[in-house]
Amino acid sequence: MKFAFFDAKPYDISSFENISKEKGVEFKFFETKLNEDTMELAHGFDGVCVFVNDTVTAKVIDYFYENGIKMIALRCAGFNNVDVKAAYGKVHIFHVPAYSPYAVAEHAMAMLLTSIRRIHKAYIRTKDFNFSLNGLTGFDLYGKTAGIIGTGKIGRIFINICKGFGMKVIAYDPYPSEEYGIEYVSLDELLGRSDIISLHCPLTKDTYHIIDYPSIEKVKKGVVIINTSRGALINAEALLEGIKSRKIGAACLDVYEEESDIFFEDFSGHIVSDDTLARLITMPNVLVTSHQAFLTEEALRNIAETTLNNIIEFSNNGCCENELCYHCGKTANCKTNRIKKCF
């Protein structure tokens, strides 16, 4: 089987090359992202392998369908960049529902600690033999309230990490889980009570700009907002205004709404044309990482193994446990509604 692998980075290539040959799947690695301009590169392949910033529109799906490209293997969990509805009846889509929720939750805490203890500033100072402490005052996490939006796999691990620091934890999720002893509150209550707000929900029409001008009105002054989920959960303009007005104390962003043409690439020495991102990065209390939260050795290994297993399972059995189903939007729990596959 031959797959066109889009947005390939050196760390992807090494993790996939290590196991693809023994599994009988051949990858052609393309540095470019998949979109309507590049879709023809997939001609002649059995399927494509894509990541978070590839754009799989209805037009791309139709091109695949007309050219016998039957599989889209997402090597990530989120699938907001794929028109799953358009793919129904045409192309099968698989994803990797979890590869290391610990990687993402630990990165969220790493960003929070870096930000509030000014580690990023201290690192640069001491490299320059500047041992002054002026301006580096932080605050204790112990006793503070963390508000978690989305209590799935990553959110629950982040909750446990926060509890380890002696923080109080409250959460908002429209599908609360009774198993884990989490204190659920309304979104408005969470906004009003939290010292730290961390987003761990998927990007959907309900969560689009869940942090926006009206929600920022409701937050506690000085709140720290962490987003390791999807950029469009936050209206970046509203966030910038909140930072400028001092309502928001700090922001830790691993994702950004308009990241797809910027993140994962080296723009040092170039002019970044996104004024909002550029302005956010100039703020002393905004920390940006480039969709890096997943990037651990464990996660890369799990991504490669699950992606390959998805492809092989589907090829051998005509169905795959990790297929995305348009009808329920989830993979695992909809088997009663379908005969082990989406169509």
Residue in 95, 156, 291, 323 annotated catalytic: 291
Dihedral angle, C-alpha 54, 9, 256, 173, nearest 10 °: 80
Measured from the CB atom, the residue of 20 and 302 that comes closer to ligand NAI is 302
DSSP three-state, residue 66: helix
Measured from the CB atom, the residue of 106 and 195 that comes closer to ligand NAI is 106
Annotated catalytic, 156? no
CB of 152 to ligand NAI, least distance (A): 2
Residue from 226, 255, 280, 300 touching ligand NAI (CB under 6 A): that is 255
Could you say whether residue 185 binds ligand NAI (CB under 6 A)? no
CA distance 7 to 265: 10
Measured from the CB atom, the residue of 67 and 114 that comes closer to ligand NAI is 114
Measured from the CB atom, the residue of 41 and 98 that comes closer to ligand NAI is 98
Contact between residue 198 and residue 111 where contact means Cβ atoms under 8 Å apart: no
Residue in 95, 230, 257, 323 annotated catalytic: 230
Residue from 71, 77, 250, 300 touching ligand NAI (CB under 6 A): that is 77
Which residues, 6+ apart, have CB-to-CB distance to 321 below 8 Å? 313, 331, 332
Residue in 106, 257, 259, 323 annotated catalytic: 259
Backbone phi, psi, residue 57, to 5°: -85, 175
- Which of these segments, 34-42, 84-92, 189-197, 287-295, binds ligand NAI (CB under 6 A)? 287-295
Annotated catalytic, 230? yes
CA distance 58 to 72: 13
CA distance 23 to 20: 5
Residue from 102, 110, 202, 301 touching ligand NAI (CB under 6 A): that is 202
Residues paired with 228 in a beta bridge: none
Residue from 25, 48, 253, 293 touching ligand NAI (CB under 6 A): that is 293
Residues paired with 28 in a beta bridge: 4
CA distance 206 to 225: 19
Measured from the CB atom, the residue of 39 and 162 that comes closer to ligand NAI is 162
Token pair for 46:
């059995």
Contact between residue 305 and residue 320 where contact means Cβ atoms under 8 Å apart: no
Could you say whether residue 149 binds ligand NAI (CB under 6 A)? yes
Backbone phi, psi, residue 290, to 5°: -100, 70
CA distance 85 to 108: 32
Window 205-234: residues binding ligand NAI (CB under 6 A): 206-207, 228-230
CB of 77 to ligand NAI, least distance (A): 5
Could you say whether residue 128 binds ligand NAI (CB under 6 A)? no
- Which of these segments, 30-38, 43-51, 61-69, 201-209, binds ligand NAI (CB under 6 A)? 201-209
Could you say whether residue 98 binds ligand NAI (CB under 6 A)? yes
Annotated catalytic, 259? yes
Token pair for 152:
């799935």
Could you say whether residue 172 binds ligand NAI (CB under 6 A)? yes
Q: Is 103 left (phi over 0), alpha (psi -120 to 50) or beta?
A: alpha
CA distance 304 to 317: 20
Residue from 46, 62, 173, 313 touching ligand NAI (CB under 6 A): that is 173
Active site residues: 230, 259, 291
The residues of the shown chain that bind ligand NAI, judged by CB under 6 A, are 77-78, 98, 101, 104, 149-155, 172-175, 200-202, 204, 206-207, 228-230, 254-255, 291, 293-294
